[in-house]
Structure 1
Amino acid sequence: MAANNSLPGDDFLQQKVKLIIVQILVGIFLCINLMLIVTFFKKECFYKTTRYILFAVTLLSDSFFLFMSDFLLIMNYFVFTIQVWLCVVISVVVLLYLTVTPVTLTAMTLERYVAICMPLRHAELCSTRSALHCILIIHGLSSVPCLLILSTFFVSASLSFYKQYQICSVEMFMFYIWQQHFRSALYQFQFLIMCIIIVLSYLKIMKVAKAASGENKKSTRKGLRTVVLHGFQLLLCLIQLWCPFIEAALLQINLDLFKHVRYFNYIMFNLAPRCLSPLIYGLRDEVFFHALKDYASFGLYKRNII
C-alpha cells in the first residue's frame, strides 16, 4: 500500500479507474462465457458435435485465463506478495491456457477444412471420440511451452528462492536475457506452425468455394469467413507474445508511457481475443444462437416460434 500512496493523486485515481474498467470487462466476458457454456450442456446435439465441443474448450480456456490473469492483475495493483512456489502453480495455469485457445482455434480450422474439403470423411474423422482425443492432444501441445519455460527457471533458481515472498508474475521466472529470448522463440515457432495451417486451410477452402454452387457455395463461404475470423483471433494472440518486449523497451524510456501501453496491450491482446469466440460461434452459428436465445428468454423464445 505504501507504493500506492507515493503516487500522485491524479495518477492514483487514473490507475483505480483503469482497474475498475478491467473488472467490468472481465465480469461481462465471464458472464457471457458462462451463459454459452450452460447453453452448450443444455443441448445433447452440441456435446456430440466436434466443432461445438472444441468451441466449449475455447470458452473454458478463455474463462480460466481471464480469471487467473485478472487475479494476478489485482494482486499486482495492491502489491500483494505470495510465496514463489504458489506463484509457480498459478503461472502453470496461466501459461497453459495462454496457449490452449490458439491451438484449439487451429483444430477448429482443421475441422472446417475437413467438413468442406473432405465431406465424405467428416463423420469418420470428426467423431465425438476423435474430439476427446483432440482435446488431450491440444492440452499436450499447449503444455510443451509451459514446461520448457518453467524448466529453465527450475535449473536456475535455488531451493531457498521458492520460500521467498514476491509479487507474482511470469517475468519473475526470467533471471537471464536468454530465457526471455528462449520464451519468445518458442512461442513464435509454435504460432508460425499454426498460422501456416490456417493459411493453407483457407486457400484449400477458397479453392472449393470457387467450384461450389447453390447451397454448397453458401455453406463454403460461411466456413471461409469462420477461418478468416480464426486467423484474426490468432493474430491478436500472436501480437500478445510481442508485448513483453515492447513494454520492456518502453520501461527504459518513459514510465508513464509504459503504463499506458501495458494497459492498452492487456485490453487489446488479452481481453479482445477472448471475446471473439462467442462472436464466431455463439452469435454467427444459427443453431447455437437459437438455443442461446431460448435459454436466455427462459423458454419464451421457443414458445413464440411454435
Structure 2
Amino acid sequence: MSLLQPNINITAGVKYQTLHEAILLGVLSMGSSCSFLYINCVLLFTLRSKPVFCETSRYVLLYNLFFADTVQMAFNILLYILASLRIKMTYYACGTVVLLLVFTATVSPLTLAVMSVERYVAVCYPLRHATIFNMRRTGTAIVLVWTISFIHILIRVFMLLYLFTQIDLNLNMNDFCSKEAFFFAPIFKYFEEAYVSIVFLSTGVAIISSYFGVALVARSASTDKCSARKALQTLMLHFIHLSLILTSSLFSTIITAAARTVLKLDLVRIYTVCFVCLIILPRCLGALIYGFRDQTIRPVLVLNLFCQRRHSVFKSK
C-alpha cells in the first residue's frame, strides 16, 4: 500500500491538498517515530553506562526488553519508509527484514514474564533473590527467551519451505514488503493467532500470579511494605505494557478491515494513526515509564537525553 499515492479521479485542487496532507502526515509520523527511536537508543546506552546496570539482574532484563522493542521500532520504521516511497523488494530481501521483525516480537512479552517472576522472588524471597537471580541464571533466562523466539521462526521457515513445494513463487513481490505480504498463505494467519494467544496468555498468567503472590505476602508483618508496594506497581506496569504490545497485533486486522470499507485517502490517515499509536508508541512507552520511574536510571537518562554530561565535560575543560 502506498502512503503517498493521490487519487487520480479528483480535481487538481483536491490533489494539491492531498499532497500537502500526505507530507504533513509523513512528517508527523516520521518525526514522532524517530523521536521515540532516539529515546530508546539513549536508554540502551544508559543501561550500559554504569557497572550497576550491567551487574544487576533487573537492569539486565530491562536492557533485553528495550533492545527487542528498539529493534522492532527500527524495522517497522524501515518498512514504513519503503512503503511511503513505493519501493518494492524481492521476496528474499523482504523475508530477511520480516523474519528479523517477527524474531524479536516474541522477546518482549516473554521478557516481561521473567521480569515479573524476578520481582516476585525479590519480595517473597529476599534472602534468596541474589542466589536465584544471579547473573548466570539471568543470562540463562535471556538465552531461553531468545531460543523460544528462534524456534518460532524455524517453524515459520519450515512452513514456507513446504508451501514453496506446492506453488510457484514469484521472487519479485507485487506488493510492498510487510509481514502480511510475506506470509501470504491463510495457514500463517491461523498459526499467528494460535501462537500469539499462547504467548500472551502465558505471560499474562505469570504477571497476574506474581501480582497476587506479592499482594498476599505484603499483608504479613515481616514484609517490607514499601518494597512490596513498589513491586505491585511494577507488576501492574508490566501488565499494562503487555496489553499495549498485544494491541499492536491488531494493526493488520484494523488496516485490512478499513481497506474494504473506506476510500484510499481515509485509509492513509488510518494507516498513519495506527502505525504511530499501535506500532511505535507501545514500544516507546516502556522506555519512558521504566526509565523515568526508576530513581537510579532517571538522572543518568536525563543527562544522556540532553547530552548534558558531554557539555559539562567540555565546560569544565
For residues 91-137 of structure 1, give each alpha carbon's deviation from its aligned partner in whole angstroms, at most 9, with x where no partner exists.
11111122211221121111111111121221111111112111111
Tell me which residue corresponds to 1:146: 153
Contact 1:247–1:262 (8 Å) recurs in 2: yes
- 1:179 equivalent to 2:180? Answer no
Alignment of structure 1 residues 28-67 onto 2, 5 Å: 28-67=35-74
- Quote how far apart the aligned CAs of 1:290 are: 2.9
Moved more, 236-245 or 170-179: 170-179
Letter of the aligned partner of 1:103 in structure 2? L
Shift in CA distance, 266/151, structure 1 to aligned 2, threshold 3 Å: farther
Alignment counterpart, residue 108 of structure 2, candidates 98, 101, 105 = 101
Structure 1 length normalisation: TM-score? 0.88
Tell me which residue corresponds to 1:202: 211
- Quote how far apart the aligned CAs of 1:294 are: 5.2
Letter of the aligned partner of 1:4 in structure 2? Q
Tell me which residue corresponds to 1:298: 309
For residues 264-297 of structure 1, give each alpha carbon's deviation from its aligned partner in whole angstroms, at most 9, with x where no partner exists.
3222221222122223331111112233345553
Letter of the aligned partner of 1:139 in structure 2? W
For residues 44-80 of structure 1, give each alpha carbon's deviation from its aligned partner in whole angstroms, at most 9, with x where no partner exists.
1110111101111122212211111100001011110
For residues 169-204 of structure 1, give each alpha carbon's deviation from its aligned partner in whole angstroms, at most 9, with x where no partner exists.
111133333331221121112111111111111111
Tell me which residue corresponds to 2:242: 234
Letter of the aligned partner of 2:227 in structure 1? S
Contact 2:121–2:129 (8 Å) recurs in 1: yes
Give structure 1 stretches of 5+ with no counterpart: 302-306
Moved more, 65-74 or 239-248: 239-248
* Secondary structure in 2 matching 1:238: helix
Letter of the aligned partner of 1:22 in structure 2? S
Identity of aligned residues (%): 26
The number of residues matched between the two structures is 301
Greater share of residues in helix? 1
Alignment of structure 1 residues 204-219 onto 2, 5 Å: 204-212=213-221, 216-219=224-227
Letter of the aligned partner of 2:301 in structure 1? L
Moved more, 62-71 or 259-268: 259-268
Letter of the aligned partner of 1:247 in structure 2? I
Higher relative contact order (CA 8 A, sep 6+): 2
Measured in 2, the distance between the counterparts of 1:213 and 1:276 equals: 35
Contact 1:46–1:53 (8 Å) recurs in 2: yes
Letter of the aligned partner of 1:287 in structure 2? T
Contact 2:3–2:268 (8 Å) recurs in 1: no
Measured in 2, the distance between the counterparts of 1:284 and 1:2 equals: 37
Give structure 2 stretches of 5+ with no counterpart: 9-14, 313-317
